[in-house]
Each structure stands twice: as C-alpha cells, then as structure tokens.
Chain A
Amino acid sequence: MVQWTDFERKTIQSIFEKMDYDDVGPAALSRCLVVYPWTQRYFGNFGNLYNAAAIQGNPMVAAHGKTVLRGLDRAVKNMDDIKATYAELSVLHSEKLRVDPDNFRLLADCLTIVVAARMGADFTADVQGAFQKFLAVVVSSLGRQYH
C-alpha cells in the first residue's frame, strides 16, 4: 500500500479542491494531443485534430478532457486504495480501449505542466513532488490489469 505523508495528503486534496476540472481537463488532454501527436491514434472519430488550434477548439476533446479529470477525482477521494479504485478502469483501458499504458504517463506529464501553469509560484518543488507521486500511483494502477 502506498504511504502518504500528511503533507502529501493535504497537498493533493488542496490542489484538486481548488482546481477547475472543466478548465484543466480539456487543457491537459489537448496539450497531450499536441505535444505527443501519436496519442491522437485513440481519437480517430473526434473529427478535426489537424493542428494545435483545431485540437484546442475541438469540443469532443474538451468533453473527453472533462471525463478524464472527473475519473481522476476518484483517486483523490480514495488515496489509500487507488489500485482497487481503478481496477475496472484498468481492465477497460486494456481490453476495450487498448491504450498503450505509456500514454498514461504522457498525459500525466501534460497535467503536471497545466497545473504548474495554473498554480504558478504555489507549485513549489515539494508540491510538485507530491503531485507527481500521486500521478505515478494513478498511472501504475491504470496499467495494473494489463496482461
């Protein structure tokens, strides 16, 4: 089981309490599709992903970004058993969606960049450490059920 310090728990709860999911979700997903264009392979039916402007203006990308962030909320609320919380989602991503789990890491990096931009100086090194640890646990849990 993952050991969380009080600082880490407080930091994660605080970040997500203050976060506008409907802003950060779309920003993180669209950034991922621009910075790592091969991730677009999973969104063939999303319409125009032709360039950065199209991706950032695409309503299906925005909607899916919100979905992903809301999914992340479940881990925020169950920090002591993220593995079990995501078991079903892991199976879904593996068997049905067939997403290469390395993509979770790429999206996590983009989410870190977006949160850093929103928080500015409040995103200190210690906060960054807590946030990245949290995302690493999420990424690992989502990859857990692949076989």
Chain B
Amino acid sequence: MSLTAKDKKMVKAFWAKVAGKAEDIGCDALSRMLVVYPQTKTYFSHWKDLSPGSAPVRKHGGTIMGGISLAVASIDDISAGLLSLSELHAFQLRVDPANFKILSHNILVVLAVLFPKDFNPEAHVAMDKFLAAVGRALSEKYR
C-alpha cells in the first residue's frame, strides 16, 4: 500500500491547508490519545501534567507535528527523510509501533473535527496511507 503520485499530491495539498494549525492539531491529537487510550500514558510518566491541552502535551504535540511536516517534505523518500527520527524511536524511545497507529487515528479524528469539509474521503484515504507510511518509516530501525 505504497503512496501513489495521486496520494502524494493530495497529502501535500491538504497539508498546505492545515499546516497553519499544526500545533493545535498535534496538541489535540495527543490529548485525545492520552484520554481515549490510557495505556499510552505509560510513555509520559516523566511529565507533571498529562491532562488535555496541558503545557507538556501542547509542546510535545508541536514536536510531533514538526516530524509530520518533515515527512511531508520528504514524501518521495520518507525513510530517508526520517532516518534520525527512526533511530531515535528505535534505540532511545522504544515506543511500541502499535502506538503509531493509535496516534495516527487520533490525528485523523482531529482533522475531521477541525476541517469537516476539506477532510473528505479522498483526503482521508491519502492521509491514512501517509501516516501509515510514516509509522513504517519510524519503525524501520527497530529490529
């Protein structure tokens, strides 16, 4: 299920529309994940405040969106573009890759909430495929 030329075009166009709200998207997606999938909180025991919209959540949501932006810019070779992030996740963070799917789902929910008209089925399938590709790239160095 690799990204077709049509998918890449759609992702770039859709990202251009939503990038202005990237920090809000990241913050909301992360907040939702921590509430709806409480097992994900285990990765953030070092934060003082895990509540939706808290300062560490907002900051980290922004960091994550920075990674997504980088992936959009590297869409023709996401693995190469995300190489150092992949090493980070594999050797230091060691986030179970199942969680990439969980976070991706929450990003899609936030896109639906914030952009109900633009996030039509065609944008949805392109973004779903793209986020899956990002997850795969991030897991690449795991073993």
Whether B32 lies near A30 (C-beta < 8 A) is: no
Whether A128 lies near B109 (C-beta < 8 A) is: yes
Whether A113 lies near B36 (C-beta < 8 A) is: no
Interface residues of B (CB under 8 A from A): 31-32, 35-36, 52, 105, 108-109, 112-113, 116, 119-122, 124-125, 128
Q: How far is the CA of A30 from the CA of B31 in the complex (A)?
A: 29
Interface size for chain A: under 10, 10 to 19, 20 to 34, or 35 or more residues?
20 to 34
B36: chain A residues at CB < 8 Å are: 125, 128-129, 132
Chain A contact residues, majority secondary structure: helix
Task: Give min CB distance, B9 to chain A, whole Å.
Answer: 15
A95 at the interface (CB under 8 A from B): no
17 A-B pairs within 8 Å (CB atoms) are namely A30-B121, A34-B122, A35-B128, A52-B120, A56-B121, A112-B109, A113-B112, A114-B112, A116-B112, A117-B116, A117-B119, A123-B113, A125-B32, A128-B32, A128-B36, A129-B35, A129-B36
A109 at the interface (CB under 8 A from B): yes
Q: How far is the CA of A119 from the CA of B112 in the complex (A)?
A: 10
A66: chain B residues at CB < 8 Å are: none
Task: Give min CB distance, A27 to chain B, whole Å.
Answer: 9
B121: nearest chain-A partner, CB-CB:
A34
Whether B125 lies near A116 (C-beta < 8 A) is: no
Chain B contact residues, majority secondary structure: helix
Please judge, given known A-B contacts A34-B122, A35-B128, A113-B108, whether A121 and B113 are in contact too, CB under 8 Å. yes
Task: Give min CB distance, A66 to chain B, whole Å.
Answer: 18
B121: chain A residues at CB < 8 Å are: 30-31, 34-35, 52, 55-56
Task: Give min CB distance, A8 to chain B, whole Å.
Answer: 12
Whether A125 lies near B124 (C-beta < 8 A) is: no
Encoded as 1 (CB less than 8 Å from any B CB) or 0, chain A from 15 to 56 comes to: 000000000000000110011000000000000000010011
A74 at the interface (CB under 8 A from B): no
CB contact between A113 and one of B35, B122, B124 (< 8 Å): that residue: B124
Instruction: Report the 5 A-B pairs with minimum CB-CB distance, sorted nearest first.
Output: A117-B116, A34-B121, A125-B35, A116-B112, A117-B112
